[in-house]
A = this chain, B = another copy of it.
Amino acid sequence: MTVLILTAEQDVTADLVVAELHGRGTPLVRFDPADLPGEASMSAEYVSGDFRGHLSAGGRLLSMDGLRSIWVRRPGASAAHAPNPSAWLTAESAHAFFGMLYSTTARWMNHPQAAAQARLKPWQLRVAHQSGFAVPPTLVTTFPRIARLFAAEHRDIVVKSITGPPPGDPPVSLPTTRVGAGADFESVAAGPTLLQRYISKRADIRLTCVGHELFAARKAATPDQVDGRYGETGHRWEPVEVPERITRAVYGYLRVARLAYGAFDFAEDADGTWWFLECNQGGQFGFVELETRQPIAEAVAGWLASPPPV
């Protein structure tokens, strides 16, 4: 049984998992949907109640029958490398290719439809509440008046983008930013704005969940640091134990979200409470593994190589 890894050519996180799978002797195909059509070919037959599918790439022919699992890492857009690319060819190729993959019995890490829903941050907050996480009070609004009331009530707040950084070249970074209660909120009418109570944190927590395996890492924060992703603090990621309450909440969250993999970000406050900030269903783990030596790539490889639980 073969593992299919969907990702672009340059992907060191995928390289780590590929090395683990090679070590186990697990057959794998690494493939970028951008190469179909062109470098790669596919064929799917739906005849007499039966389904047979094949992907031909890099001189190998992969039968859909023999597919154990599919890891959606960082795939390019379908047909992006085709000799005559177009939006229509991308749509046709994506429907043909993913329609074929959806017709198999392979396990997904993560299924693209579950991943699409899991990206919606307001929905994440709701599921996080219901799963038992502590979540900082959050507002998503286009009403300047409600933004002002929220700022007055919670005093110390941050503003974040809802989807991530705006697209563009060169890329723009959009760090989480502190906002004073007296700020001018008129411009929220121009676009829904996410405001959140600022958590004064003593550490950032990154918890990576692979199937049922949890890997938590902690990095001490410098006072008044807002966004741990930007700037050098001199602190390093260290492994940390996962509180029982958090373990239960993580399992609950991933079950509702139908995800096999999730990278959770928390802020640890002075009382030791882990505040849920977000769950990135496609979050990187290479930087954590590098510093903590937690065997996350091995866990991903293990999940991908395993038969489905009975």
Contact = CB atoms under 8 A, between A and B. Distances in A.
Interface residues of A, number: 65
Contacts of A50: 129
Copies in the complex: 2
A43 interface: yes
A161 B126 contact: no
Contacts of A143: 41, 43, 56
A97 B91 CA distance: 25
Contact of A92 (B96, B139, B163): B163
A137 B52 CA distance: 12
A155 to B, nearest CB: 14
A102 interface: yes
B103 A122 contact: yes
Nearest to A78: B192
B141 A192 contact: no
Contact of A119 (B84, B95, B120): B95
Contacts of A43: 139-143, 146
Given A95-B121, A99-B121, A163-B95, A42 B87 contact: no
9 contacts: A36-B192, A37-B189, A41-B143, A42-B192, A47-B138, A56-B143, A96-B122, A96-B194, A99-B120
